Amino acid sequence: MPEERRRELLAAAAEVFAVQGYDATTVRQIADAVGMLAGSLYYHFDSKESMLDEILSTFLEELWDGYDAVLAASLGPRETIEALVTESFREIDRHRAAVAIYQKEARHLAAHQPRFDYLADSQRKFERAWLGTLERGVAAEVFRADLDIRLTYRFVRDTVWVAASWYRPGARHRPEEIARQYLSMVLDGIALRN
């Protein structure tokens, strides 16, 4: 099958999964979204699960390519956080529906379907990268030591990734601009300084 058609089918499936949830989505609904018969999807994919797997694994592969480059760059802790947040918004721009699916479904999928064990592995790797950077920042006296590192990580993570619920590619702000605004609020606060 031409690669472009495959991407089109996966993009449509991702949108349907993101809106309705994986379990509630039928193959017929995905087929309707691309204007084909439900049985025709089985010519391209062996199951609904295979579509979801490809959507999530592609998103995570690209996310980790970007994150690994940031983590290998030997940046300071603040610059690393800035680069990770910016890379996160770029991924939301490229894979908004996949991010929304990941947010809603990853824990359940990893716990109940062995095929999706990599989601839990990715979550642990994600946590190590962010917590390690925050800990480095506290040790270097770049970040406040009075804040709970795990709570700070959860706040930043959730603040960034929830944007997939409202962000639309091609809208008013580019991903880098949204990242800059978020970083300004997270790192510098919203209150005026005296």
- E strand or H helix at 40, and its extent? helix 38-44
Give SS3 for 168: coil
Tokens of 186: 């997270």
Give the number of other CB atoms < 10 A from CB of residue 66. 17
- The arithmetic mean of pLDDT across residues 29-37, rounded, is 91
d(CA 15, CA 117) in angstroms, rounded, equals 23
**Which pLDDT does position 170 carry in this prediction?**
81
Separation CA 109–CA 22 (nearest Å): 10
- Report residue 95's pLDDT band, with 50, 70 and 90 as the boundaries: very high
Burial of 52 (0-12, 13-18, 19+ CB in 10 A): buried
- Mean of the pLDDT values across residues 59-76? 97
pLDDT over 60 at 1, yes or no:
no
**Does position 81 have pLDDT exceeding 60, yes or no?**
yes
